[in-house]
Amino acid sequence: MAEREIDQNSSSGIRVKIFTRTIWVLSFVSLFNDIGSEILIPVMPIYLKSIGFTALWIGILEGIAEAVAGISKGYFGKLSDEKGRRLPFVQWGYSLSAVSKPLMALFAYPVWVLFMRIGDRLGKGLRTGARDAMLSDECSKENKGKVFGLHRSMDTVGAVIGPILALLFLYYYPGQYKTLFLLTFIPGLAVVALTFIIKEKKREAVINLKKGNFFSFFKYWKVASPEYKKLVTGLLLFTFFNSSDVFLLLMAKTAGMDDTHVIAVYVFYNLVYAVFAYPLGVMADKIAMKPTFIFGLILFVIVYTGMAFLQNELMMYSLFFIYGIYAAATDGVSKAWLTNLVPKTETATAIGFYASWNSIMAMISSSLAGLIWVMISPSATFLFAAIGVSTVIAYLLFRRDKNIIAE
């Protein structure tokens, strides 16, 4: 629940404090965590190849890691609701990731890297549902777009700072990849320290899906509200057509951009995302989540259609500018929209259930995109996605919504 304080200048005498201490702390936690994660983005493939990973094994490594993260989000989200606790999952999740990243460089053995990478992603699975539920618990339904928008903005600022720091470090210390991995311990330490200044009130544990095995959260679909099911269906259909951003960067390479420019356009995209995430969250609160999200999907269709006919660098930067606005209009907004359709006692389970299936669909989507890329053409990959997401827009436009928001 959002904190309230007296404001003598307001007509009602009460002013709602939208951004509580917990919301700010969680936002800075995400910022520092993303700095640590995104520092490794430019060097991860190079480092893995240097210790014996082929392109095939890199793909398998990332596939296993993301599968672990996806499935664990559902399990630990459900467990958070069952225990009526959020903070322990947030603390342990960020701590596990903070330790795993630098340890990847401790021993140059593929098996060791595999376990550490899985540990990093397991940490993400541990914290995601509980963290997003904590954000939802801290605000009223009228302000969720703003709160999730702020959080995504801060998170993405980290995604801008991280690659820039990596480029600067490698400029002065070329080839020192292991040192760069070890340096991620610094933002990781800041992340863990910040989680320990968060205070949480114990919540009532209500949801119980009986048997607590690792996959029991899948049973949530049976008890979820019809509105939640309709929205999740649309979101997962979108994920099916929305392949990894890696294909956008590959298209940049195909169009003739060198490695420096590819990283630069990735940083540019994240910067645009960070700038627009909060304003679009405000817009979602004012005009509703649905039209804001659909606006984002329309931008997606424009970008992917443009990518199919990419011709020059100026066009690439223009499309990535639009793509940053698309991400700002959909990522945080979709989470805020979901939390408005479920009771507070089920928030972590609802988010975890969606996140798990989202990871599964993302794996299918990227595999299909890669197949189309190889078997037909790169342009066909983007046209397929653009046409597919157009059907998602139609689904959401014609879906009837009840004006009921869960309390």
Separation CA 105–CA 103 (nearest Å): 5
Separation CA 235–CA 231 (nearest Å): 6
CA distances from 203 to 207, 212, 300 (A): 12, 19, 39
Domain that holds residue 154: 4-202+218-398
Residue 344 counted as domain residue:
yes
| CATH number for 242 | 1.20.1250.20
The pLDDT assigned to 323 comes to 94
Residue type, 191: V
203: phi then psi, degrees, rounded to nearest 5: -105, 160
Q: Which H or E run includes 5?
A: strand 4-6
Residue 207 counted as domain residue:
no
β-bridge mates for residue 5, sequence order: 15
Angle 130-142-204 (CA atoms, 0-180°, nearest 5)? 40
278-299 per-position pLDDT tens digit: 888 888 888 888 899 999 999 9
Residue 209 counted as domain residue:
no
97 by Cβ neighbours in 10 Å (0-12 / 13-18 / 19+) ranks as: buried
Residue 56 counted as domain residue:
yes
Asked whether the predicted pLDDT for residue 204 surpasses 70, the reply is no
Residue 393 counted as domain residue:
yes
Residue 75 counted as domain residue:
yes
The pLDDT assigned to 395 comes to 92
Count of structural domains within the chain? 1
Average pLDDT for 35-50: 77
Residue type, 378: P
121-147 per-position pLDDT tens digit: 888 888 888 888 888 877 777 777 788
Determine contact, residues 36/187, Cβ cutoff 8 Å: yes
DSSP-assigned letter for residue 139? S
Residue 211 counted as domain residue:
no
The pLDDT assigned to 212 comes to 56
Residue 212 counted as domain residue:
no
Concatenated DSSP letters of 113-165 = HHHHHHHHHHHHHHHHHHHHHHHHHTS-GGGHHHHHHHHHHHHHHHHHHHHHH
Q: Look at residues 286, 268, 277 and name the one whose alpha carbon lies nearest to residue 330.
A: 277
The pLDDT assigned to 235 comes to 92
290-334 per-position pLDDT tens digit: 899 999 999 999 999 999 888 788 888 999 999 999 998 998 888
Q: Considering Cα of 132, then 135, then 139, then 143, what sign does the dihedral take?
A: negative
Separation CA 247–CA 243 (nearest Å): 7
